[in-house]
Amino acid sequence: MRSAGALLRGMRPWQYTKNLLVFAALIFAQKMSDPMAVMLTVIAFVCFCMVSSAVYLINDVRDCEEDRLHPEKCRRPIASGELPVQTALIAAVVLALVGIAGSFAVNAALGAVTLSYFVLQMAYQAALKRMVLLDVFAIAGGFVLRAVAGAEAIQVVISPWLLICTLLLALFLGLAKRRGELSALPQGSIGHRETLDRYSIGMLDHLISAMVASTIMAYCLYTISDRTVAELGSTRLMYTIPFVIYGLFRYVYLIHRHGHGGAPDRTLLRDRPLLLTVVLYALTAAAIIYLAPDRG
């Protein structure tokens, strides 16, 4: 029973919030009233959750020695010795195979995207996480593939602007994560992760500021792009811009004033103003999209 609990924690179900990005295509393509589209998106979400859990387990096995040097990661099930390495690896293989096979069962395109996500994560663990800047791009690539997976699951063409916004936001979160890790280990970053020694707080702050500005600009352009206006019949999606700006500003505030950023999923779930902003954005966007005037 104890091993089962340790395995569940090693799978990190609280990080499944990242996989909610799979639902973006369903929402923005106005397919939420289509039961088949909803079902396929849910299947894609579950498959990504299984594959991402497999990735977390493999990552923790590879990094267990480094994690033991970290003030928080040393409590992870594998690093602490609570979860045997063999059990974690067997579970990871099963989860990865079932998740990828389930994606191919939906359609070949979704299967290819899910497999690409898994390969990218393995490449990240094997080499990319030790390459400055490329490590952050690999993290961002995982988010973009989640958005693409949602579109492939229901066979719709996702807006290029939405992909750009996803990439920029993911780069922002990835840079914030590196800053949080670097701040938590001011004296021992080399022992924990070699790449951190190649970053600096000042450099990351400059890049984070650039990503905040770029994300806001890209989202503003997305809301008033010809394709968006044609699909919604108005420019009303621009009313969601204040939520995006406040959410990004709030996250930057949490990074600088409270040292958050190392775990984006926990930051979102624990900070009520930020969580409320995300909920209000989702509700407002859904209302605008689904109450759009009839264009027929």
Three-state DSSP string of the chain: CHHHHHHHHHCCHHHHHHHHHHHHHHHHCCCCCCHHHHHHHHHHHHHHHHHHHHHHHHHHHHCHHHHCCCCCHHHCCCCCCCCCHHHHHHHHHHHHHHHHHHHHHHCHHHHHHHHHHHHHHHHHHHCHHHCCCHHHHHHHHHHHHHHHHHHHHCCCCCCHHHHHHHHHHHHHHHHHHHHHHHHHCCCCHHHHCHHHHHCCHHHHHHHHHHHHHHHHHHHHHHHCCHHHHHHHCCCHHHHHHHHHHHHHHHHHHHHHHHCCCCCHHHHHHHCHHHHHHHHHHHHHHHHHHHCCCCCC
**pLDDT recorded at residue 47:** 97
pLDDT at 62 over 80: yes
pLDDT > 90 fraction of the chain, expressed in percent and rounded: 61
pLDDT the model gives residue 242: 97
pLDDT score of 71:
63
Confidence of residue 193 (pLDDT cuts 50, 70, 90): low
Q: Determine the pLDDT at residue 1.
A: 56
Does pLDDT of 218 surpass 60? yes
What is the predicted pLDDT for the residue at 3?
73
**Which range (129-133, 136-140, 215-219, 289-293) has the least confidence?**
289-293
Q: pTM of this prediction?
A: 0.88
pLDDT for the residue numbered 204: 94
Residue 190 above 70 pLDDT? no
Please determine, for residue 236, whether its predicted confidence score (pLDDT) is greater than 70. Answer: yes
